[in-house]
Amino acid sequence: MTEKSSISIFDENYKRIEERIFEAAIKSGRKREDIILLAATKTVPANVINHAIQSGISYIGENRVQEFLSKEAELLDTAHRHFIGHLQSNKAKDIVGRVEMIQSVHSVKLAKIIGEISLKKDIVTDILLEINIGEEENKSGFFKDNVTEAIFEISKIKGICVKGIMSIPPICEKRAQLINNFEELYKLFIDIKAKKIDNINMDYLSMGMSGDFYEAILSGSNIIRLGTALFGQRDYNI
Ligand SMILES: *Cc1c(COP(=O)(O)O)cnc(C)c1O
């Protein structure tokens, strides 16, 4: 795909996506500004990401440490940068301090490591806890029934601040199943919020991707992460 066409693909998609987000926000009793549209930028070259930022995208999320580091210097610094991919403990040092939020914290161990590195850098890293709502073996994240216990432990870790939860629910053929997963996540989000645990804020519920962001917003999501819906089909999947 040429760069020019990637840019025109983005322009066409972005307008349509914005209308859908607006519609879903209103339908869920909220305002457009209440929903964060994060562009999932894996495999997208820096110049296309910068075009998206200049067009109004204010949050970007990368999946791979190496890929992020290779684009980092070229990226406009006006967008919030999040890390959304699977993070191995030994790679945490390369990402802490370079992004505003790590959305994909899947274990107490990783939370502790991020905390330790943050303390050394004299910063506090905002994180979301990743929930494996479908309890799928090939995915990481906390199981719904274990997360509360983990949260009490995580709340004591210095150097991090929990801002909410994120999830990549299983691919569902049935719409009802999809919505059921989103509703379970929303319920979990509300339940944790109600506990009012120190250092645990439930500001963000990050769920919804290209195929299901409309339903996710209706179920209460306030961060949607869109890749293909904005940038078109990726040449390869990571
Ligand atoms: C790739 C990715 C997305 C976006 O996926 P699309 O289906 O292309 O919108 C969202 N979240 C995470 C964690 C991703 O890795």
The pick from 102, 204, 225 for probing ligand 1's pocket by mutation, whose C-beta has the most ligand atoms within 8 angstroms, reads 225
* Continuous segment of H or E residues that includes residue 50: helix 46-55
**Is 207 near ligand 1, meaning CB less than 6 Å away?**
no
Residue 234 Cα, ligand 1 centroid: separation in angstroms?
A: 11
For the entire predicted model, the pTM comes to 0.96
Say what percent of the chain tops pLDDT 90: 93
How many other C-beta atoms can be found within 10 angstroms of the C-beta atom of residue 140? 16
Where along the chain do its domains lie?
Answer: 3-231
- For residue 129, pLDDT over 70 is answered with yes
Residue 108 reports pLDDT greater than 80: yes
Helix/strand/coil percent split, the chain, to 5: 45, 20, 35
Give domain 3-231's CATH superfamily: Alanine racemase (3.20.20.10)
pLDDT at 2 over 60: no
- Ligand 1 in contact with 42 (CB < 6 A)? yes
What's the confidence (pLDDT) of residue 1?
53
Strand-pairing partners, residue 80, are 59
Is pLDDT above 60 for 4?
no
Encoding tokens for residue 210?
């290209």
pLDDT at 36: 98
238 has a pLDDT exceeding 70: no
What's the sign of the alpha-carbon dihedral 159, 120, 112, 168?
positive
Backbone angles phi, psi at 5, to 5 degrees: -70, -30
Over residues 167-195, the mean pLDDT reads 95
